[in-house]
Each structure stands twice: as structure tokens, then as C-alpha cells.
Structure 1
Amino acid sequence: MDASAQSGGTGGGGTGGGATGGRGTGGRGTGGRGTARKPAPKRKEGGKARKAKKARVSRPAFTIQQGEDMLLYISNTSSQAEGSLWTSRRKTVSKAKLLKNQKKKKKTVCPKSRLERKTVKEEEEDRLPEEDRWGQLLPEEVLVSIFQMLVVQDGAVPFLCRVSRVCRLWNAAAATLTLWRKVAVNHCWIQPARGQTEKTSNRIKETFTWLAENRFSQLRDFTLCHWATSVDFALQTVSEFCPQLRSVHLSYCRGVTGSGLRSLGLRSRSLQRLNLQHSEFQVEGLVDFLEEHGKQIRQMLFTRSHRNDKVLAAIAKGFCPDLELLEVNKKLDSKDTELSVCFQSLQKACPKLKIFRMFNIQIQHKAMRKRGESEAGFPLLDEFCIANTEYSYMTDQVLLDVLFGSTRLRVLDLRGSTRITTFGLAQLPCPKLECLFWGQYFTKNIGFTSVKKNLQLLMEKWGPTLQQLDITNQPFTEADLQVALAFLAQVAEADTLLSLNLSGTKITAQALRPVVERMTALGYLNLSSCRNLPRGVKKIYRSQEEIQELLANLH
């Protein structure tokens, strides 16, 4: 063994080992450090040469098979893919491990200029088809007009809240304050038969407060539906941020106390309409509200119960001198149907009343001792409605005491008033009545007279101005109906009568024919349950075309 071999063995087993303390190519020297890579093996002399790699031939995109009578052309599934079938894999380079003293260098990324950003954004927008960019290219004024039509149809909430999340343009259009003048907020349904948790209630309050602060500055008509809690909070928030509030409607709400109503009276100085129908409220709180702020109320609507008779008494005391609309109804399952009403007190307390409505309530007239205090009556009354489906205590004399000064009356709804006669109606001082609803819609015979007559008195009085007539189930004779309708066809203009309800009467084809021929504007005709008419015509006609077909059948 020569010296060179001995010196190579001192450095380890690497080929061409280094000196003592140095690094070998593959091994580790004495006191030195070598790399982890193994030395490449030397090719032995006379060894076999590597075989040359053959280029792989790609498969054809189809195969042909021979059948009995034809050649079958079958495409390969691999041919549907794009590109070549054999693709070279990308070589992955393993990351070298960092030494103790080495630090990873971060690549510095130069931010793009604003011009470059803008051009890239424009390029992305150009890639979108035009039909997908119509909402971004639409002028904001046109978008607001479209939103206005949808708000009138579906309401502002939740429509505007949803479209504001589409894009910035739609958000700006939905934030237009004129779109938020009429808002209805419904109950937030979580799960059936489960109440709201405190967390959910707080989120609802936060959302409602944000809407009031940022969207309700021009709110005029506010409706709250099916809220069982936080109703006072909603009223206080709306009254604080909505200086133009004119109408408040609480539908099927519970928990309305005097604090919420008091905040409306103190802050909402433009409030004129208060609708509390089908809602549970604190009667004392409402009475206090009317006593302090009733002068600004023009329209009052509530549901009658034995607890809130004090509300009507407060109105009769004069707490609402400028009241123009008074509407009282009752729940369908309520048994409290009778109510004592002093019309003389209402005439004195509300001289500006234009609309009086009481639905499904049996009114018992309570007369005053001094008749002279109510000499004016209701001089501005336009509509008087006491419709019910059970029975009525209203008589001719009581009706005359109520309407003796109502010369401007246009709508008279006496459905269910069986004690009223044609002679009593003919004495009313309203010469231009347009709508008369006098049908009977119940089966009880309390106060039901056997036969009614002289319907022509009403046609002589109101025939030229009558637009809607309803005498359902009224027991007039055949001759009486024929004379009355013949007189109506003579005195009325062709375009005056719009609706005629003769259901359940003894009308005949001979009496009906002149009215149908004369009234060309008639758009509704009810002939159901008319036994004296031939088969096939006893139904409801809802257009002039259908009425003309009826006329052909009557001939």
C-alpha cells in the first residue's frame, strides 16, 4: 500500500478524502464535517450501457370495431380531455433545511400602482358579459324609481335591506330616504313554539336602532306587526328619530303601555293617526295619552272589549276635538257584542267627524236629556257604517237622530239592520248618496219584518247618484222590485251604476232586463240564490262582457 492510499484512508471512506480537519467529498474527515449526499458510484469499465428510452405513442382518439353489417366508431374517454394524454410531471424541489445561524429571506413585493390596479379592475369588468353588468351600468335615479315601485307593492322591509347587499350602487340607491317613508316591521320568527332569547332580542333592538338612526329620518307611516315584547322600545326609538311621523299602526301586538304612548305624544308632534286594532294595550295609558295629546289625533282605530270602553268615553268627553275618523271593531270570538253609545255626546265632542264605523257591534243608543246641545249633528260626515252579521237595535228614529245634520253623506252601510224601513231611509237629509249597503247576511230572524215594500222611494231619492246598491236577502215582492228597477233605469245615467247585488231576492228576468240594457258601466252583478231566474244565470258576474252574455241569455 502506497502513501497516497494511506493518506486517503485517514479522511474516512470518501473517494479522494481530504486532509486532517478538512472536508471530504462524501465522507466526514477527522475533526471535519461532510455533506449528507452520498458519492455517485463510478461506472465500471466494461459495464452494460443504458437502454435508450422509447418515446411513448399517444393513444388514438377513437377505436374501430367491425360488426356484422357495419363498422363501429367508438371514442375514447381520454380523448375528451384537453391536451396530450401523457404529460410530464412537474419536478418538486425539496426545500433545504435552515441552519441555526441562517435566516429565511422574505421576498419583497412591490405594490402595484393605482393606475395598474385600475386597469386590472377594468379588464375584469370587461370580461363580464353585458347582461351581468346591467345593474352596475344603470343610473341611480332609474334604480331608485324601480325600487319605489317595488316598495309600494311589497314594502320597504325586508326588500330594501336585501337589495342593499348586492353592490355599492344598489346600496346607495336603497339608502335613499324617500324610499323609507312607509315601513312595516314584522315579527322575527325564530322557531315555532319558542320565545326569543336575550341575545336574539338584543340583536333585534340593535338592528332596529340602526335603521331608525340611518334610514327612518323621513318616516311617516310606521307599522309594527306581531310583536309580543319590546313594543314600548320600538315606539320610543321611532318617536326619537322620526320627526315626520304621522301614522302608527300596531297590529296583533302585546305589551303596549303608557310609557310608549307617552313618548309618541311628547316627541311625535306630527302624529295624526293611531291604529291599535287587534292589539292588547293598557287602557289607562291610552286614556292618559288622549287626555294630554288627543288634540293632534285625526284618526283613531281600536278593537272593542269590555276593558276598553273607557276609550270611547274619553273621546265622547272631548279629548279629540279634531277627530275625523273613528273605527271600532271586535274580535271574531268575542262575546261582548253590545255597546251603549251616546251619539249626542259624540256630535258635540267631534264636530269634524267624517267617517264613523262600527263593525259587528250591536249599538244601543243612549239618549241625552238635553237635546239642544247637539243641534249641529255631524255636518261633515261622509261615511256611516254600522254593519253586523247578527242583529241590530237600530231603528228609523235613532238613525234620523244620528244623521239629521249629515247633508254630505255619500256612503251608508246598514247591513244587518233589519228594523230600518224604506220610509225611514227616505227621510234622511242626504240628497246625493252614492253607496247604499242594506243586505241581510245572517239567518236569525230577530226584528225581521215579514215583507218590505216601496223600494221605489229610494230610487226616486238616490237613483240619479247611486253607484253601488246592495239589497241582499231583502224580502221585497216581485212587483216592488220590478217597479223600483224600472224607475232606476229611467232616472240614472248609463255610466252611473257600477255594482248591483240582488242575491237572495225575488228578482225576475223581466224586471232585470231593462237595468242590464241601460247600465253600460255595470261591472258587478250578483244574482246568486235568485229562485225566480232561470237555471244557468244565477251566479256572480264580474265584468261587462259577462253581463252582456247574460243579456243574450235573458232574451
Structure 2
Amino acid sequence: MDERNGDCFDHHEDLFAPLSASDSEHDCLKDFLLEPSRPIAVPPNLPSPVVQQPIQELYPWNNGQIHQYQNICRPEVNSLLELPPVNHNDPVITGNLLDTGDVSDKNGGECWSPAADFAACPSERTVSSDCVSSETVCSPSEGTSDSPSPSKVHQVASGEQPPRKRPSSSRKRKGTSRPRATIATYQSQIAPDQNGIKIRIKKSLAPVPPRSRRRKPKEEVLDSYQEPAEQSGWGENLPKEILYGIFEMVTSTEGSVPFLARVSRVCRLWREVAISPRLWHHVDLSGTWVKDRAKNDLKFRWLCENRLALVHDLNIGGWEFDGIPGILDKMASSCGELRSLSLTGWQGLSAENVKFLIANCPKLQRLDLSSINPEMNNPRSAVSMMSLVNLAQEMGERVTQLVLARNKLSGIPQIISALSTYCPNLQVLDLSNVKTVSHTTAYLHVEKLQQGCPKLRVLRMTNSELALSTVSLKEQGLSEGFPHLEELSVAGVLENMSSKPVIDDDSLQRILKSSHKLRLLDVRACSRVTDSSLVRVPAWDLEHLFLSGCYVTRVNDSGLELICQKWAHSLIEVDLGWSTATQSLDAAVNALAHHIEKSPLRALNLCGSSVSLDPVKAVLTQCPLLTSLNLSSCRALPRGMKRLYQGAELTELRMTILKGDSNTE
């Protein structure tokens, strides 16, 4: 036994017992494979007295692992390895003796050879049907420890052959990252049909950590404000009465949601004040607050029990529930102070549900039933003729607001007659986008509505198939009109620059005969409304005027300048879009700009009109409160100026105009 390899292990004799004297050369070859020393060049025609036999026929192998290096050759065979020295400088001998294969390094291009590695590495022997291979056990990070790897021991003990690693290719792929450092490992093979030993060099990618790049530290933006280490806690020291007053001021203007839901997360004191039902008077839960339909029932019931006990104005439009009668029952029992209710989009609402609400909500005054029946006329729907007539009869003087927009209605004259008869306190009536079942024009008896609902403040008939019914001049003279009317919207929809002639000068005069408090007038796309009826409107403090697509904006010398002069002192918003009468339009815009007093104008729409540049300059210089100016598609203006101006863009345009005027002077 070799001194430097130490003693043999327990089963050494069983594994490597001598078979015969003729096997000495095989024993020496095994010793050569397991000995991590410098390779020795062997002559190609070395005589050997031993006949080559397959290794499997010699004796059975046990793929166990040799933990220490041992010299397993007998002393009488060791003399066979004493060979004469070979001249390594001879290229012929060296090329015939060593077959190194493809050993070029792909990183540096240097040639690797077994003689280049002088460090001893523990190896592991695996035997297959026709080859013996020696693989390294230690990794570069483990050093040169003699302890075997647990995974290798398990593979050898179970008789499995360890998987061979695929030799790495020297080709470089485009777009790949920089190759990592490689460490060569040796893998030797013996084949019975080859004369000699074939040594291969295999490269394996070692887990070498990549180089870390130093990045420049980002420059931190220094803020002058530094948060104090200790908070003052002023919010927790406020008296509840003062905090309640602050919350009440906000909720009265912006509503309870989402303000109260957010401030309740600040601290416990704010939460105690925010959850008070006295602050939940105006609650809008429509739009983005609509969640999963399966959970809507539980969420709304919880709100009714914990937050909505004193609610006055509730909007739950767009919500979908599995059981509408149960939800309405919970609402009626929990919300005893309910005065306004919006059920927009509840297409499953029936006439029986509306009757239940009227009977169990004694303080209900305002009801929104828009988009309940937008497609077909259902006789059992909440907006059917019988349901609305019954609503007017049952609510009577209580009802002050009724919204029936975006519905398909039948029996409109009967509905208007019932409202005129039983609802004297009606203030808001919205019939926008209403269509009839027969797709024909329905007639509205406006004189009867004026007589029965004298407190009406808002009347909307935008884009509806409604027209005023024909009555005698005597009946028109006996009507007192709408003395409290503040908003009238009878706009139509332009289709190929034309609209349905529903409202004309006579109809406008019948509606506005005594409306001195009118603040909003919308007659867009009313092709039969001329300047004669607009000039005779009794209101003198009109604030919002919409004339886009109207007849008065298409004809020169139409009196548009006189109309703007009448209300130039009070107009806040004016719409003169798509006006083709250039002369009248320029005069009207100049009338809005050159008012004696400070102009209150804030929004001006000139989209698609033929306005000139000089009136636009006058508006920019003489209207300091202007915040919105629409110049889109104005063909008479220079390029780069035809767009909507708001905020900072409008300020920049004003400064450019003023600078240009100063340079001209």
C-alpha cells in the first residue's frame, strides 16, 4: 500500500481482490485513473503481456466510492509503470500519444491540457458497460476537501450512473450576457476497442458570482420641510363640538361620501365624530361605489343600521339587488327621515314597489325614477302611466321633484294632467330624453301645468318628443305662466345640421311669459327660434345662454348683437358655437367684451364658428374672469390657435396677445 494514500477501508479486499497474474495491467490502469498526478506519456506500441478483455468480464464491480486515494496495484506489477523518459518536445510523439480533443478555452482562447493542472483533486469512479470515468467531487467554493459529496454517495450506493454534463460550446450567441468564469474538470474514458487511454477535458460553469457594478448614487432632492420627530397631536386635542362643526360644513357642500369615510381613518377621535348619524344627511352611493351584486344586500343593510338613520338625501342609483322588496322594507324601517331618493337604473322596479315607498316613507318629497324603462313599455313598470298617476294622487302636495328622464313613456298627457291636479308644490320636472311608445310627438298642455304647478322652478324637455298642445288665445291669456321658473332647457339634437321643429317662437313665449327670475336658457338646435322671441324674454339677469345651432346664429342682421348687449352685464357662460353669420357674430362677441362695467364672463364657446381674430383679442383683454375659451375649428383664425384653452393655456394665450399688441404699437 502507498504511504501517502493511507490504509485501506473495510471492504477494500472484497472490491479489489486480485483475480489473476494477467490482470496486473488493468490494476495499474485503475491506479493510474485514480491517482491525481501529472499524466505520463506512454509510447503507442508498448508491449503488454496481458490480453485485452472487457472490464465487465473480469469481475463484478460495485459502484461504491473510494474515500481516500489508495495504491491498489501489487508490488510485482508496479515495475511495469517504470517507463523510459519521453521527449515531450518531439511534436510527433506528443501528437500521437495524447488526444486532447477540443480543449480550447472559449474565454481567453488558451489551450488547456491535463499537464497544466498540478493541484490534486479528489475524484470519483463510475463504471458503465464500456468505460470508466473519473469526475471531480469538490466544487471551487469547497476547496480541496477529501470528504465526499452526499449526492455522489447516494448515486454510487444506489447503483445509478451520474448524469454526464453537456460540453459547453465555444460559439457565442448574440445578445447574451457576458459568459461567466469556467473551471476545467477532467473526465477520462477507457474503451476496449481503442488502443490506449483517451483523455477528455470537460468544462463546467462554476457558480462564480458576477461582478458588481458600482452605480453612482442618485442625488437626493433636499426638501426644506422636515417632519418633526414628535407630532403635536393637535387633531386629538380638538373639542368634539368644533370638529363636528367643521365636518358639517364640508358635508353640506360636498356630501358625506367619501369625506366621512376618509376622515374616520385619521384617529379615534375623528372616527367617533365621523360615524355620527347627524353628519350623514346627504349620501351619494352611485357610480363607483357600486360593488359586487352578491354583497350589495348585506352592505346596504349594514349602512341602514349604522349610518343612514338620519339621512335626508340618498342616491343609490345603479345598485343591483337580489331582492328589491326586502331592501325597500329595510330602507323604510331604518331611514325615517328620508326626503329625497334616487333609484336611477333600477329596471326591476315595479309599480308595487313605488306604492310601498309612498306608503312607508311619509317624509319623501323628491323621487328620481330615470332609466327605469328605457327600451320598452311595461305596464307593471314603476314609470307606467297607471303607476305615475297613482304616485301623483298618493303623494299629492308632498312631491316637489320628479325626474322621469331617459324613459319610454305612454299616456304623457294623462301624467301631466295628474301632476297639474294633485301636485301644486312641484318645483322640478325633468322630461329629458323621453320617448313615446308610438314614436310620435306627445303634446304637453303647458297652460294647465302653469295653473296647477305655479311653483315650478326647473323644466327640462331636452331631446324629447314633446311639443306644446294647441289652445285658444283666451286660455293663453288667462294663464299666469311660471313666475318662479329659473331654468328652461328645450334643446334638440342636431342631425345633419337640422333638428326636429318642436319648439318655436310662440312656444317659447307661452312658457316664459312671466319668468322674470330665469337664469338658464338652452335653445340649442331649435331652428325655429329667432331673435324676436329671445329679445322679448322677460328676464334681465340671465347667466347661462346656449344658442349653438339656433336660427339666430345663422343669419346676418339677426339681432344677435342686441341679445348679447341685453345680458352682457350678467352672462357667465355663452355658447355661440357653429355660428355662420360672421358679421353678426363678430358684433355679438364685441358686445360681450366692450361692456361698461367689469365683464363677469367665464366661459365662451365659439367652436366651429366663423369668428374673426379681432373680437377674440377683445374678449381676452377685456374679460379678466375668463377661464374657458373654445376656438376649435374656427376657420377664420390663424393656424395653431384653433383649440380649447383652459387654465394656464388661456393665460399664456392672453399674454401672447397682449405682447403682440404692445409690439405693434
TM-score of the two chains, using structure 2 as the length reference: 0.54
Q: 1:337 to 1:131 in 2, by over 3 A?
A: farther
Partner of 2:457: 354
- Please report how far the alpha carbon of residue 457 of structure 1 lies from its aligned counterpart in structure 2 after TM superposition: 1.8
Measured in 1, the distance between the counterparts of 2:438 and 2:642 equals 36
Is contact 2:405–2:434 with CA below 8 Å preserved after alignment?
A: yes
Is contact 1:356–1:383 with CA below 8 Å preserved after alignment?
A: yes
Q: 1:345 to 1:131 in 2, by over 3 A?
A: farther
Measured in 1, the distance between the counterparts of 2:420 and 2:393 equals 9
- Please report how far the alpha carbon of residue 240 of structure 1 lies from its aligned counterpart in structure 2 after TM superposition: 2.3
Moved more, 142-151 or 483-492: 142-151
- Please report how far the alpha carbon of residue 496 of structure 1 lies from its aligned counterpart in structure 2 after TM superposition: 1.8
Aligned AA for 2:566?
K
- Please report how far the alpha carbon of residue 355 of structure 1 lies from its aligned counterpart in structure 2 after TM superposition: 0.9
From 303, 310, 320, the counterpart of 2:405? 303
Aligned AA for 1:242?
C
Measured in 1, the distance between the counterparts of 2:442 and 2:572 equals 32
- Please report how far the alpha carbon of residue 293 of structure 1 lies from its aligned counterpart in structure 2 after TM superposition: 0.8
Tell me, yes or no, if structure 1 residue 472 matches structure 2 residue 577.
yes
Specify the SS of the correspondent of 1:260. Answer: helix
How many equivalent pairs are there? 412
Superposed counterparts of 1:511-530, under 5 Å: 511-530=615-634
Measured in 2, the distance between the counterparts of 1:163 and 1:427 equals 52
Measured in 2, the distance between the counterparts of 1:163 and 1:345 equals 50
Per-residue CA deviation, residues 7-54 of structure 1 (Å, 9 max, x unaligned), is xxxxxxxxxxxxxxxxxxxxxxxxxxxxxxxxxxxxxxxxxxxxxxxx
Aligned AA for 1:351?
P
Identity of aligned residues (%): 29
Partner of 2:535: 426
Measured in 2, the distance between the counterparts of 1:133 and 1:233 equals 49
Is contact 1:258–1:289 with CA below 8 Å preserved after alignment?
A: no
Measured in 2, the distance between the counterparts of 1:450 and 1:180 equals 53
Partner of 1:215: 307
Measured in 2, the distance between the counterparts of 1:304 and 1:319 equals 24
Measured in 2, the distance between the counterparts of 1:268 and 1:392 equals 41
- Please report how far the alpha carbon of residue 165 of structure 1 lies from its aligned counterpart in structure 2 after TM superposition: 9.3
Partner of 1:294: 396
Structure 2, unaligned runs of 5 or more: 1-227, 374-380
Is contact 2:554–2:581 with CA below 8 Å preserved after alignment?
A: no
From 275, 278, 292, the counterpart of 2:368? 275
Per-residue CA deviation, residues 389-443 of structure 1 (Å, 9 max, x unaligned), is 23242111221122112122121111111221122211222222221101139xx
TM-score of the two chains, using structure 1 as the length reference: 0.64
Partner of 2:604: 500
Per-residue CA deviation, residues 184-226 of structure 1 (Å, 9 max, x unaligned), is 4468644xxxx74xxx6xxx55554443244322111112233
Measured in 1, the distance between the counterparts of 2:488 and 2:614 equals 34
Q: 1:553 to 1:179 in 2, by over 3 A?
A: same
Whose Rg is larger?
2
Aligned CA-pair RMSD: 3.8
Superposed counterparts of 1:321-336, under 5 Å: 321-330=424-433, 336=439
From 550, 562, 568, the counterpart of 1:463? 568
Partner of 1:176: 276
- Please report how far the alpha carbon of residue 542 of structure 1 lies from its aligned counterpart in structure 2 after TM superposition: 1.5
- Please report how far the alpha carbon of residue 549 of structure 1 lies from its aligned counterpart in structure 2 after TM superposition: 3.0
From 635, 638, 660, the counterpart of 1:534? 638
Partner of 2:128: none
- Please report how far the alpha carbon of residue 296 of structure 1 lies from its aligned counterpart in structure 2 after TM superposition: 0.7
- Please report how far the alpha carbon of residue 385 of structure 1 lies from its aligned counterpart in structure 2 after TM superposition: 0.7
Partner of 2:155: none
Superposed counterparts of 1:334-349, under 5 Å: 336=439, 338-349=441-452
Per-residue CA deviation, residues 359-385 of structure 1 (Å, 9 max, x unaligned), is 222432212245257520111111111
Is contact 2:308–2:335 with CA below 8 Å preserved after alignment?
A: yes
Per-residue CA deviation, residues 528-552 of structure 1 (Å, 9 max, x unaligned), is 1111111122222213513413523
Aligned AA for 1:349?
G
Measured in 1, the distance between the counterparts of 2:258 and 2:534 equals 49
Measured in 2, the distance between the counterparts of 1:362 and 1:244 equals 37
Is contact 1:343–1:367 with CA below 8 Å preserved after alignment?
A: no
Measured in 1, the distance between the counterparts of 2:639 and 2:235 equals 61
Partner of 1:440: 549
Measured in 2, the distance between the counterparts of 1:330 and 1:502 equals 26
- Please report how far the alpha carbon of residue 247 of structure 1 lies from its aligned counterpart in structure 2 after TM superposition: 0.6
From 395, 414, 425, the counterpart of 2:504? 395
Q: 1:263 to 1:168 in 2, by over 3 A?
A: farther
Is contact 1:219–1:244 with CA below 8 Å preserved after alignment?
A: yes
Per-residue CA deviation, residues 210-266 of structure 1 (Å, 9 max, x unaligned), is 432443221111122332543333333222222221110112113223343234323
Measured in 2, the distance between the counterparts of 1:541 and 1:161 equals 36
From 509, 532, 549, the counterpart of 2:655? 549
Partner of 2:481: 377
Superposed counterparts of 1:198-209, under 5 Å: 205=297, 208-209=300-301
Measured in 1, the distance between the counterparts of 2:401 and 2:355 equals 17
From 250, 258, 272, the counterpart of 2:343? 250
- Please report how far the alpha carbon of residue 164 of structure 1 lies from its aligned counterpart in structure 2 after TM superposition: 7.2
Per-residue CA deviation, residues 97-140 of structure 1 (Å, 9 max, x unaligned), is xxxxxxxxxxxxxxxxxxxxxxxxxxxxxxxx997997995657
